[in-house]
Amino acid sequence: MTYAIPAPAQRSLSIAGSAERFPVNRIFCVGRNYAAHAREMGRDPDREAPFFFMKPAQAAVDASTPATIPYPPRTRNFHHEIELVVAIGTGGADISVESALAHVYGYAIGLDMTRRDLQLDARDKGRPWEFGKAFAASAPVGAIHRAADIGHLEHAAIALTVNGQPRQASDIDKLIWSVAESIAQLSMYEALEPGDLIMTGTPEGVNAVLPGDVMLGTIAGLGQIEVRVAN
Ligand code: MN
Tens of each residue's pLDDT in the chain, 231 residues: 899 999 999 999 999 999 999 999 999 999 999 998 888 988 877 778 899 999 999 999 999 999 999 999 999 999 999 999 999 999 999 999 999 999 999 999 999 999 999 999 999 999 999 999 999 999 999 999 999 999 999 999 999 999 999 999 999 999 999 999 999 999 999 999 999 999 999 999 999 999 999 999 999 999 999 999 999
Partners of 92 in beta bridges: 192
Q: Which superfamily does CATH assign the domain made up of 12-229 to?
A: Fumarylacetoacetase-like, C-terminal domain (3.90.850.10)
Strand order in the sheet with 157-162: 67-69, 224-229, 214-219, 157-162, 165-171
What amino acid is encoded at 55 in this protein?
K
229 burial type by CB count under 10 A (0-12 exposed, 13-18 middle, 19+ buried):
buried
Partners of 30 in beta bridges: 52
Domain ranges of the chain: 12-229
What amino acid is encoded at 109 in this protein?
I
Distance CA 41, CA 43 (A): 6
Question: Could you tell me the distance, in angstroms and rounded to a whole number, from the CA of residue 95 to the centre of ligand 1?
Answer: 23
Report field, pTM of the whole predicted structure over 0.85: yes
Look at residue 80 in the predicted model and tell me its pLDDT. Answer: 98
Question: Could you tell me the distance, in angstroms and rounded to a whole number, from the CA of residue 83 to the centre of ligand 1?
Answer: 7
Radius of gyration of the chain (CA): 17
Question: Could you tell me the distance, in angstroms and rounded to a whole number, from the CA of residue 33 to the centre of ligand 1?
Answer: 8
Question: Could you tell me the distance, in angstroms and rounded to a whole number, from the CA of residue 5 to the centre of ligand 1?
Answer: 34
Question: Could you tell me the distance, in angstroms and rounded to a whole number, from the CA of residue 113 to the centre of ligand 1?
Answer: 8
Question: Could you tell me the distance, in angstroms and rounded to a whole number, from the CA of residue 1 to the centre of ligand 1?
Answer: 38
Q: How far is CA 227 from the centre of its chain?
A: 14
